[in-house]
């Protein structure tokens, strides 16, 4: 089942639980706008290359649309559509005033020079600049893009609309980025895991963790688990996998990967088959987003690393934290639920990144761009003052803990699992905002 079909299925199930009107249900499912543009650039060798860019703007009932831009040779409109929809529910679950969007360009960034990437990014921005904006649609980095990509978008957009630091998040610190943004998704995963384990009378300390994906999200999550007494017993990325039943020395592994760009030959553990990590002996399994930016291997290997019908029955973890988007196939979801495995869904578990993106947007925005009411009801740093990292992390924890309590309330109200608790929470908030704004 592809990502769009699975996401639509979860949405429709949540809509039935909530008893939504069929016309409203259909309206919430259909994207607000789908954008497809041609991007031609001169390459360094003088030849002309043409790429196709997409931006799916799903919903803006609760605020400006928000979502990443990915550069990947297999950018698929259906997948982008699904991820845009997930962003709508994710921002609603997190209780931040955004809707959902997602975008991308069908290219292999590993085959483009820095100057070619810059030209491509600027052409893409020229094609969509009048459809994004501080209070319309705010892009962010995703697979194959980074803070430098956001800096180019900011600069190109500002040529048309004046200096606009809040038009993107995930920017370099020197251009108005937020402290704590790099670690945000991984730290959010840690806070979400902490909340779930506490609900079951457990703590991070002495729990055994297996982490699939040791890119930005997975490495930060592993670091925080390790620092709080958790035992990381297995780790993988697209270069390989390692295990150590006594616990991997995470700081040493981070240092090793930074130097070698790979997990292979790390002396603090034994090599294991990449696919075995998902069924490795552990208490908590954490499927994380794949890191496609720190290695010369640029392959789309997500399909061999997801939880699906074929491997779900062999999963030994008691808890699964979905740090990646859509890592669990619906059929696997049912198998795992019958086994008693508790799954913390992606639209909550990995929301730390977009939450701190909201903090960055608040910090980057300017007093002249907001109403007096808004100025009085958001942190005063909206004037452009940078928050200390301690404040960013404190606010992130507050948002993550609050969202978990709200999800649990929906679970109790509708007698459903955590996935449907999160989906009903997000869908209900968007539906209510839509109705209040005068849908009919």
Catalytic residue annotation: 102
d(CA 229, CA 88): 35
Residue by residue, DSSP assigns 384-398 as SPPPPHHHHHHHHHH
Cβ–Cβ under 8 Å, residues 264 and 240: yes
Cβ atoms within 10 Å, residue 427: 27
Among 56, 62, 134, 60, smallest CA distance to 92 is for 62
> By the 8 A CB rule, do 195 and 213 touch?
no
Please check whether residue 344 is in contact with residue 321, taking contact to mean a CB–CB distance below 8 angstroms.
Answer: yes
Distance between CA 317 and CA 384 in Å, rounded?
44
The sheet carrying 99-106 orders its strands as: 33-42, 48-59, 99-106, 65-72, 137-141
Query: Distance between CA 105 and CA 247 in Å, rounded?
Result: 40
Strand, coil or helix: 126: helix
In DSSP terms, 60 is beta-bridged to none
Q: In whole angstroms, how far apart are CA 148 and each of 118, 145, 170, 290?
A: 9, 8, 9, 19
Cβ atoms of 167 and 93 closer than 8 Å = no
Nearest to 365 by CA among 164, 181, 171, 170: 164
For helices 418-436 and 3-18, the axis angle rounded to 10 degrees is 70
Query: Cα(369)–Cα(365) distance, rounded to whole angstroms?
Result: 7
């Amino acid at each position: 089942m592809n990502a769009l079909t699975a996401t639509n299925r979860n949405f429709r199930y949540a809509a039935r639980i909530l008893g939504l009107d069929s016309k409203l249900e259909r309206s919430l499912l259909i994207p607000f706008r789908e954008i497809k543009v041609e991007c031609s650039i001169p390459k360094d060798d003088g030849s002309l290359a043409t790429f196709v860019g997409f931006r799916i703007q799903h919903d803006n009932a609760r605020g400006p649309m928000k979502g990443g831009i990915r550069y990947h040779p297999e950018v698929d409109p259906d997948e982008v559509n699904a991820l845009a929809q997930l962003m709508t529910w994710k921002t609603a679950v997190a209780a931040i005033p955004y809707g959902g969007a997602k975008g991308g360009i069908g290219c292999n960034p590993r085959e483009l020079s820095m100057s070619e990437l810059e030209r491509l990014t600027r052409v893409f921005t020229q094609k969509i600049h009048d459809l994004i904006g501080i209070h319309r649609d705010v892009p962010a980095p995703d697979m194959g893009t980074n803070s430098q990509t956001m800096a180019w978008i900011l600069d190109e957009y500002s040529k048309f609309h004046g200096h606009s630091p809040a038009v993107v998040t995930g920017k370099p610190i020197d251009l108005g980025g937020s402290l704590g943004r790099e670690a945000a998704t991984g730290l959010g995963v840690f806070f979400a895991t902490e909340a779930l384990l506490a609900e079951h009378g457990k703590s991070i300390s002495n729990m055994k963790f297996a982490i699939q994906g040791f890119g930005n999200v997975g490495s930060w999550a592993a670091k925080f688990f390790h620092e709080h007494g958790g035992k990381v017993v297995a780790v993988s990325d697209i270069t390989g996998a390692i295990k150590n039943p006594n616990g991997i020395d995470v700081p040493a592994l981070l240092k090793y990967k930074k130097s070698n760009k790979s997990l292979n030959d790390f002396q603090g553990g034994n090599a294991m088959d990449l696919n075995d990590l998902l069924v490795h002996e552990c208490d908590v399994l954490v499927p994380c987003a794949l890191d496609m930016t720190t290695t010369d291997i640029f392959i789309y290997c997500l399909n061999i690393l997801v939880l699906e019908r074929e491997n779900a029955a062999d999963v030994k973890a008691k808890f699964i934290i979905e740090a990646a988007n859509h890592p669990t196939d619906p059929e696997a979801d049912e198998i795992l639920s019958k086994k008693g495995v508790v799954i913390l869904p992606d639209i909550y578990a990995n929301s730390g990144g977009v939450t701190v993106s909201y903090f960055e947007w608040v910090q980057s925005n300017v007093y002249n761009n907001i109403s007096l009411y808004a100025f009085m009801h958001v942190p005063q740093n909206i004037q452009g003052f940078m928050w200390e990292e301690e404040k960013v992390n404190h606010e992130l924890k507050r948002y993550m803990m609050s969202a978990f309590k709200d999800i649990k309330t929906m679970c109790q109200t509708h007698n459903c699992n955590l996935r449907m608790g999160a989906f009903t929470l997000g869908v209900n908030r968007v539906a209510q905002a839509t109705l209040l704004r005068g849908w009919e």
